Amino acid sequence: MRPIWKGSVGFGLVNIPITLYPATYTEDLKFRLLRAGDLSPVNYKRVAEKDGKEVPWDQIVKGYEHEKGKYVVLKEEDFKRVDIEATQTVDIMAFVELDEVNPVFFHKPYYMEPQKGADRAYVLLRNALKDTGKIGIARVVLKTKQHLAAVKPQNEGLMLELMHFASELRDVEDFKQPKESKIAKNELDMAKTLIETMTQHWTPEAYKDEYRASIQELIDDKIQHGGKTVAKKATKKVMGNVIDLVSVLQESIRQGAKAPPKNAASAKKKPAAKKSRKPRRAA
């Protein structure tokens, strides 16, 4: 696995050399667009809207549309004038209580690996964050873009999690809020009972991407049968409107909703996987 960035974590006068690795990876199935007649791959062309002619890369510029159909062009030298200095430092500006930060701010996690000779300072920061229940709020430049980020303790290590700036989040007031309604005590009690019956220990391996698995099964089936046979079509669960909350809650509790999710049992018994070049997911 290749690192995406090398630098250091800095807070006060403390400097900790670290290497950054992606903590997640996508498992999306990749498809190509093909011509139906002969399955020839279809490529994209850069075509001007005005006359439909293809435009070579050396004639393409970047423009900002400030009014409908009106653009101001920015050249490379313009971008260089406002470039943020890439200091190769995760610059911690402040420490805050983790509970104070709305989870909606967190965006993308990375593992922080200590470089040679940095173990002692690395462990010091990790332990201090664990003991205080705080996270570091930092600035970092990755791939020429400045990000807001959080430095968090994660098991025996540290994690850098990119964050959204406040200006990037929509105001919750933009969305319709539920109307206040009187909830009967017995309804609330049954809802709590249902939650208790469905409560389990967190086992991330128990939850799978069922849609991706179904698509992969369909692809395998088509390959095996020369592209003619398809896997059995999934049945869609039809959900009705909830009219009588009490009866719905009672039936949910009666059905014994404590059954573990699909693959939960097999996930716990699953033998250790072979070493992979992909990063392990965070729990």
Same domain, 11 and 142: yes
Assigned domain for 160 exists: yes
d(CA 183, CA 260): 29
Same domain, 162 and 230: no
- In this prediction, residue 235 carries a pLDDT of 62
Does the pLDDT of residue 280 top 50, yes or no?
no
Q: Which residue has the tokens 């128990």?
A: 206
Assigned domain for 60 exists: no
Q: Which domain holds residue 214?
A: 185-269
Same domain, 255 and 141: no
- 201, 204, 205, 208: CA torsion to nearest 10: 120
Same domain, 210 and 149: no
- In this prediction, residue 278 carries a pLDDT of 44
d(CA 207, CA 198): 15
Assigned domain for 34 exists: no
Which CATH number goes with the domain that contains 108? 2.40.290.10
Lowest mean pLDDT among 84-93, 195-204, 264-273: 264-273
Q: Percent of the chain, pLDDT > 70?
A: 82
Does the pLDDT of residue 184 top 50, yes or no?
yes
pLDDT average, residue stretch 161-170: 91
pLDDT band at 11 (very low <50, low <70, confident <90, very high): confident
263 φ, ψ to 5°? 75, 0
Does the pLDDT of residue 229 top 90, yes or no?
no
Sign of CA dihedral 111, 23, 279, 128: positive
Assigned domain for 259 exists: yes
Same domain, 163 and 217: no
Lowest mean pLDDT among 85-94, 129-138, 253-262: 253-262
Assigned domain for 163 exists: yes
- In this prediction, residue 177 carries a pLDDT of 79
Q: Domain count for the chain, please give it.
A: 2
Cβ neighbours around 91 below 10 Å, total: 17
Summarize pLDDT for 48-71 with one digit per residue, the tens: 999 999 999 899 999 989 888 889
- In this prediction, residue 44 carries a pLDDT of 84
3-state secondary structure of 161: strand
Same domain, 121 and 9: yes
- In this prediction, residue 265 carries a pLDDT of 47
Same domain, 94 and 161: yes
Assigned domain for 106 exists: yes
Summarize pLDDT for 94-117 with one digit per residue, the tens: 999 999 999 999 999 999 999 999
pLDDT average, residue stretch 27-53: 86
Cβ–Cβ < 8 Å for 219, 231: no
Same domain, 151 and 249: no
Lowest mean pLDDT among 18-27, 59-68, 245-254, 271-280: 271-280
Does the pLDDT of residue 206 top 80, yes or no?
yes
Assigned domain for 132 exists: yes
Average pLDDT in the chain: 81
pLDDT average, residue stretch 120-128: 95
Assigned domain for 91 exists: yes
Same domain, 241 and 112: no
Same domain, 199 and 238: yes
Same domain, 14 and 118: yes
Same domain, 162 and 218: no
